[in-house]
């Protein structure tokens, strides 16, 4: 084991950024936001997409809060958390100034999922509650192979939480693993730092045009349908800061 005594924390952080930067430059591209339910993995039945789309549209009209679903075939080696925050930054789910957006992201082949929460919802849809929605509501259905019901139940729990009708205490679990440990949180912050640095480099023109080569159209990544609910839906300018939780099945 090497010793870090004498090293400044920021030196270690910058060293890790340099090690991981190549992965950022080759990171998975964010697919277009086409609807409230973006089923690029073909995980859901068309009837489920229709049901969710209607529920989320009505919820947004009632609460002004935007919740969207994104399924992808694979992360292609990318980090779930790093990809999720890029999606949040690109899609800007939630209302500008309120930052009241949330994203349910599912990576089918990696068997991973994440709830990404906007700044304005972090006090309501907390990390603890998000984690328990994943572990106690969504994951059991996914393990049964019932992805449709898992997503329906998970989205319903997210909406109920925003309305004050659901809390983490309502669904206790004896398994407290799977949450963010201190080590995982540290790694996540590294990825956030990498993401911010990579955006700075792109603005300065350091990454080159090859960075924008698509990995979601024609590259074996994203294709297929988002359920046919395009037609002008978009994020409202909401901001995200890494709140939420991750899990797997």
104-139 tens-digit pLDDT: 999 999 999 999 999 999 999 999 999 999 999 999
Contact 134, 246 (CB under 8 A): yes
Residue 216 clears pLDDT 60, i.e. is over it:
no
pLDDT, tens digit, for every residue of 160-208? 999 998 866 655 544 434 444 444 555 556 666 665 665 555 444 433 3
Given pLDDT bands bounded at 50, 70 and 90, which one contains residue 238?
confident
pLDDT attached to residue 21: 55
pLDDT, tens digit, for every residue of 25-61? 567 999 999 999 999 999 999 999 999 999 999 999 9
In the chain the domains, ranked by start, together with CATH numbers, are 37-169+240-248 (3.10.310.50)
Q: What is the pTM (predicted TM-score) of this model? A: 0.71
Average pLDDT over the chain, rounded to whole? 78
pLDDT attached to residue 187: 55
């Amino acid at each position: 084991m090497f010793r870090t005594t004498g090293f400044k924390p920021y030196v270690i952080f910058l060293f890790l950024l340099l090690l991981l930067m190549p992965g950022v430059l080759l990171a998975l591209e964010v697919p277009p936001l086409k609807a409230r339910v973006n089923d690029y993995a073909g995980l859901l039945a068309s009837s489920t997409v229709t049901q969710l789309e209607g529920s989320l549209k009505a919820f947004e009209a009632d609460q002004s809060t935007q919740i969207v679903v994104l399924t992808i075939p694979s992360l292609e080696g990318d980090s779930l958390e790093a990809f999720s925050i890029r999606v949040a930054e690109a899609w800007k789910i939630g209302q500008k100034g309120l930052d009241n957006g949330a994203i349910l992201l599912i990576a089918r082949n990696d068997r991973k999922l994440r709830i990404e929460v906007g700044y304005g919802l972090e006090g309501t849809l907390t990390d603890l509650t998000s984690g328990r929605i994943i572990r106690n509501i969504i994951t059991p259905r996914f393990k049964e192979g019932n992805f449709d019901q898992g997503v329906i139940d998970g989205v319903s729990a997210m909406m109920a939480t925003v309305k004050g009708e659901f809390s983490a205490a309502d669904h206790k679990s004896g398994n407290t693993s799977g949450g963010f440990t201190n080590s995982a949180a540290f790694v996540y912050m590294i990825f956030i730092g990498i993401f911010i640095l990579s955006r700075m480099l792109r603005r300065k023109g350091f990454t080159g045009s090859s960075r924008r080569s698509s990995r979601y159209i024609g590259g074996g990544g994203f294709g297929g349908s988002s359920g046919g609910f395009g037609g002008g839906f978009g994020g409202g300018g909401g901001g995200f800061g890494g709140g939420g939780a991750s899990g797997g099945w």
